[in-house]
């Protein structure tokens, strides 16, 4: 078992990077900073406990069955996020677009009326 120390160090580095890169909202049971301190100060036990109970369910940055996909969009802030309303059907999209067009037309009409009243 001469490589046991090396294996523990690799596990520790892996868990340290995993804790640092984990999303704050996905970390379980303790705040992310507490997990980081636990892994730093108690390397073997902290790393094992992190992997078993603290790690995000989606598998963090290392993937997994439910891992989040990185956005290839130029504007990732517009990607679907939890809590953000996303149209579930083309009909809902059409209704939203119809409402946007109606509101834009109403704003144009109000601007024309205001310009006409200023001209008179």
Residue corresponding to tokens 């209704």: 95
What separation, in Å, do the N-terminal and C-terminal C-alpha atoms of the chain show? Answer: 94
Tokens of 2: 């001469």
Best CA proximity match to 19, nearest among 53, 60, 58, 49: 60
Give the DSSP per-residue string, 8-43: HHHHHHHHHHHHHHS-TTT--SS-HHHHHHHHHHSH
According to the model, what pLDDT value does residue 112 have? 93
According to the model, what pLDDT value does residue 21 have? 86
Angle between helices 4-21 and 32-41 (to 10 degrees): 160
pTM value?
0.48
pLDDT along the chain (120 residues), means of 10: 84 89 82 88 88 74 48 63 63 81 95 87
* Beta-carbon contacts of residue 91 (< 8 Å; ≥ 6 apart): none
């Amino acid at each position: 078992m001469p490589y046991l120390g090396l294996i523990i160090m690799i596990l520790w580095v892996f868990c340290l990077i995993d804790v640092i890169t984990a999303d704050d909202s996905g970390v379980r049971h303790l705040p992310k900073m507490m997990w980081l301190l636990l892994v730093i100060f108690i390397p073997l036990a902290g790393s094992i406990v992190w992997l078993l109970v603290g790690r995000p369910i989606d598998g963090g940055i290392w993937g997994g069955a439910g891992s989040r996909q990185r956005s290839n969009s130029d504007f990732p802030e517009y990607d679907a996020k939890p809590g953000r309303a996303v149209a579930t059907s083309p009909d809902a999209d059409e209704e939203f677009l119809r409402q946007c067009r109606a509101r834009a037309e109403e704003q144009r009409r109000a601007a024309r009326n205001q310009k006409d009243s200023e001209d008179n």
